[in-house]
Structure 1
C-alpha cells in the first residue's frame, strides 16, 4: 500500500522554546508544559529546535531529558541538532543517556554544515582547530557509528580498579533506528537514505530541479527512499507551519493571518545565492488545511508529520493551536490520538 493511500499515522509538533533573557526558566518551563500537553492530547511526538547564542533552546538534549521525566509515552525529538557545534562522541553519550532515561523514546534529528555565523563564533568554539574542522557528512557518520555501538577506542578491559568499555556507554540498542537527518538538498536526502537514517523534510529547501516547493520536497523524499535499504517503507516526517483556527478568537485569527502574510513574500521565489525556497505557512480551519495538504505533492507521500509552531506566538496561542491540531486537524487527516 502506498503512502498516498494511507491515513495520517503519526502526528507531532515542533517548538523553538523561546525565553526571556532575564527569566529563562519561565520559557523552558513553558516548553516542558507544552510537551506535557501534547502527551495529554495524544500527539505521537514533540520536537524541539536548536538555537545557539540566541533566546531559544540551546541544549535540546538537556530539555528532553527533563521532558522524559514528565511524560511516559510521547516520543521526543530534535529538529535538528547542527553537528557543527558538537563533538560526535560526546553527543552520542548524551543521546544514549537520555534515550535510556526516556525508555527508548528519543528521536535525534541532526544536520551538517558550518555553524551559523561561523566567522564570528569560530574563535570561541574551535580556537585551535577552526580551519581543520570537517562540517560535512563524515561528522554524521561518526555519530552514527558511536550510536550503533562501533568501537570508539582500541582498549577494553580493566586498568587498576576501573573497568573500561571500547564503545559509548550507556549503549541504547534501539536508538540507531530512531536517528533522523534534516535534509534540504538532493545530495543530503540521498546520503541519509544510503546510510539508513530516517528523513526529516525541511521547510527550507534548495531549488535544484524546480522552483515549486512541493515538487522540490517530493524529489527529496523519492531520492531518499530510492537509496534507502527499506525503500518505500523508509520513514519520512513532513514538516510545515500549519495554524488551525477552529477554536481561535477573532483576535488570534487576525494575528495568525498577519503573521503568514508577512512571511509570504519570501516563498514566491528562490532566495539568495544558495537559491533557498521557503514553505508557505498554512492558516485556516482544519477542513481547509486538510484539503490543502491533500493537494500537496510531497505530503501525499508520507504518513507522519511534525507541524512547526510559529515561534513568536504566546503560550496561550500554542495551546489553542495544539488543541485544534489534535481535536480537529489530525482527525480530518485520518489520524487517531494515541491512547
Structure 2
C-alpha cells in the first residue's frame, strides 16, 4: 500500500446542518450536538457549510457562536461563506466577535462569485446596487483588511459621550492568519496564496485545459497540482496550510441497512465524476465508502491527499443524525488512526 508523505496531523469534519422547514430548531440543535460529539471524539475541527434560501444552515457564524459556548477545544470553521451575500465590514465584526467568544478557535472560510440564482434574488438582496456590486476577489481583500485591523473609517475619537474607532471592533488578534479560501481553480488558489490565506480544497476542482491524448481527467492529479502551485506561490511555502475535504463514509460499525443506504447514495452521485460538469467544467471526486482500512488505502494512493496533513471530511447532505454519529465515530476510532492521526486529548 502506498504511504502518504506524512501522517495525518489534523482531522476535521464538515456538515451542512440540515433542518426541517416546520421544525428548524431541531436541525440546528442536532448540528450543535454533532459538534459536541466531535470534540469528545478528539476531532481537531468542525466546519459548517453555508446555504441561503435552502434547508441548511444560513447563518453559520451564529451557530458557531452557540457552539463556542458548548465546547472548549475543538476549532470551528466555515466552508465556505459565499461573500456575494455579505458586507465585508459587517462580516468582519461578526467573525471577530465569535473568535473572541471561542478563545481564538474560529477558522473562517470564504469564496467569491455572484450569489446563486442571482437574477432571482437580486431584488431582495441588492435592490438598488445590484448592477454595481463587485463579486470578485476585491471583496475578499476588503474582508481580510478589516479583520487585520486596517482603517475602516476616516473618523475616530470622542463625539459627545460616545467613543469611535477607526477600525472594526472588536479586533481579534491572530484571526487574519486563520482565514481560509475555498478554491477549485488554479487562478483562485494562486490568488489565495499571494494574499497569504490558507486553502480549503474539496471534492470539486475545475477541469482546466485538456487531458493527455487518450486519457480522461484525473481529479487527484489536478488537485495535487493545485496544492503544489498554491504552496509555491505562498509566502510560507511548504508550511502553508491546506485542508482537503473529500466525502468519506466509513462503514465499520454501520448496520446492514446503513451500509446499503450509503452505497446507494454514492452510486447515485458517481456518474457526475466521469467528466467535467456544466459550463464551469467542474470535476467531482467519487465518494469514498467502505471499511476504514479500505478507505485508508484509497487515500494513501490519492495524489491530492498525499499533499496534505490535515483534512475536513465532508458528511453527506441527506443522512439522519444516527448515521452521522456512526460515521464520525468510525472516522475518529478507525479511519483516523489508520491514516496516522491521534485524537486530541479530551477536556474535563
Same fold per superposition (TM over 0.5) = yes
CA distance in 1, matches of 2:125, 2:4: 44
Q: Which digits, 9 at most, give the CA deviation of each residue in 1:249-301, with x for residues without a partner?
A: 11100110010001000000001121110111000100000000000001000
CA distance in 1, matches of 2:151, 2:4: 41
Q: Where does residue 143 of structure 2 map in the other structure?
A: 143
Q: Where does residue 305 of structure 1 map in the other structure?
A: 311
Residue 336, structure 1, aligned to residue 342, structure 2: yes
The alignment's TM-score, normalised by the length of structure 1, stands at 0.98
Q: Which digits, 9 at most, give the CA deviation of each residue in 1:145-194, with x for residues without a partner?
A: 00000000111111111111100101000100100000010000000000
Q: Which residues of structure 1 form unaligned runs of 5+?
A: none
Q: Where does residue 17 of structure 1 map in the other structure?
A: 17
Residue 5 of structure 1 deviates from its aligned partner by 2.5
Q: Where does residue 231 of structure 2 map in the other structure?
A: 225
Q: Where does residue 67 of structure 1 map in the other structure?
A: 67
Q: Where does residue 192 of structure 1 map in the other structure?
A: 192
Q: Are the counterparts in 1 of residues 78 and 109 from structure 2 also a CA contact under 8 Å?
A: yes
Residue 320, structure 1, aligned to residue 335, structure 2: no
Residue 93, structure 1, aligned to residue 93, structure 2: yes
Residue 4 of structure 1 deviates from its aligned partner by 4.5
SS at match of 2:46: strand
CA distance in 2, matches of 1:149, 1:49: 26
Q: Where does residue 287 of structure 2 map in the other structure?
A: 281
Bigger mean CA offset, 67-76 vs 204-213: 204-213
Residue 202 of structure 1 deviates from its aligned partner by 2.3
Give the count of matched residue pairs: 337
Stretches (4+) displaced over 4 A: none
Q: Where does residue 161 of structure 2 map in the other structure?
A: 161
CA distance in 2, matches of 1:132, 1:257: 46
Q: Where does residue 37 of structure 2 map in the other structure?
A: 37
Q: Which digits, 9 at most, give the CA deviation of each residue in 1:33-55, with x for residues without a partner?
A: 00000000000000000000000
Q: CA RMSD in A?
A: 0.9
Residue 129, structure 1, aligned to residue 144, structure 2: no
CA distance in 1, matches of 2:45, 2:279: 35
Q: Are the counterparts in 1 of residues 4 and 300 from structure 2 also a CA contact under 8 Å?
A: no
Q: Where does residue 5 of structure 2 map in the other structure?
A: 5
The alignment's TM-score, normalised by the length of structure 2, stands at 0.96
